[in-house]
Amino acid sequence: MADANINYNTAVSYWESTSSDVNGVLGGYGEQTPVPVVEQNGSLKFVRKLKSRMLISAEEEQIYGKRMMDFGAGIGRVTKNVLCEIEPKNPNMRFDLLEPATNFVMKMHDELNPLKEAGLLGDIYHMGMQDWPHNVTDGSMNNKKYWLIWCQWCLGQVPDNELIYLLERCKSLLVKNGTIIVKENTINSYSLEDQDEFDPQDSSVTRTDDKFRWIFEKAGFNLIACEKQKGLPAELFPVRMYALKPRDN
């Protein structure tokens, strides 16, 4: 299996060797290309279509706020340009981020300083997804529930079984009508023989669309929406956005 080759240390070393800017986190498709704006707009259109299916009670919003988690957050690009724009005037928004690469975390603090000054920046977790939240020891996870957990271009660094466990952990940390959105490179699936692809450079796996759907099912989620990102360069893998709700909701 391709995911058996994933090595966390190799992955972190790769990302810590790249530049701490949009060009670095997007693998060379930085602000000199249309890619950042195109994909950010695609994300916002996708999530805005779901707003009527993301309502939570006034009581839960008062207790937990509308807290979001940005997995594999890089330098904070998605939080800054997508998550902040979902409900930009809501004072109950809070943004947590998780990122293992030290250089990105340092840059993230600069990029998101306006959020911090506005009192909207939550906690930044400098760790891998495989360690969250059970290895958080500072008490910051106490009484915390998420309205939205966003996973973009990072789940390929986690093996299949660990990804299932991660999603199960996330499920227990959602408010009653909470949502997980996954945005990842995919391989079009035309038969059961289609295989995931391993990239030794950053020690990641690109999964088939069928594999993602199998993982979501195993983790106890219903897939409520799926779209392909439009407008990206033809040489890139197809990028799909998946919206997930816990099956027991």
DSSP 243: E
CA-based torsion, 15, 16, 17, 21: positive or negative: positive
CATH of the domain at 140: 3.40.50.150
pLDDT of the residue at 1: 85
pLDDT of the residue at 69: 98
Determine the structural domain holding residue 174 and report its residue range: 2-246
Burial group, residue 66, by CB count within 10 angstroms (0-12, 13-18, 19+): buried
- 181 with 243: CB under 8 angstroms? yes
3 bridge partner residues: none
pLDDT of the residue at 193: 77
**Each residue's pLDDT expressed in tens, for the chain with a length of 249 residues:** 899 999 999 999 999 999 999 999 999 999 999 999 999 999 999 999 999 999 999 999 999 999 999 999 999 999 999 999 999 999 999 999 999 999 999 999 999 999 999 999 999 999 999 999 999 999 999 999 999 999 999 999 999 999 999 999 999 999 999 999 999 999 998 876 789 999 999 999 999 999 999 999 999 999 999 999 999 999 999 999 999 999 985
Number of folded domains in the chain? 1
Residue 117: its H or E element:
helix 113-117
Residue 244: its H or E element:
strand 239-246
Burial group, residue 139, by CB count within 10 angstroms (0-12, 13-18, 19+): exposed
- The whole-model pTM stands at 0.97
pLDDT of the residue at 249: 58
Q: How many CA atoms lie within 13 A of 189 on its CB side?
A: 17
Quote the tokens at residue 172: 């227990």
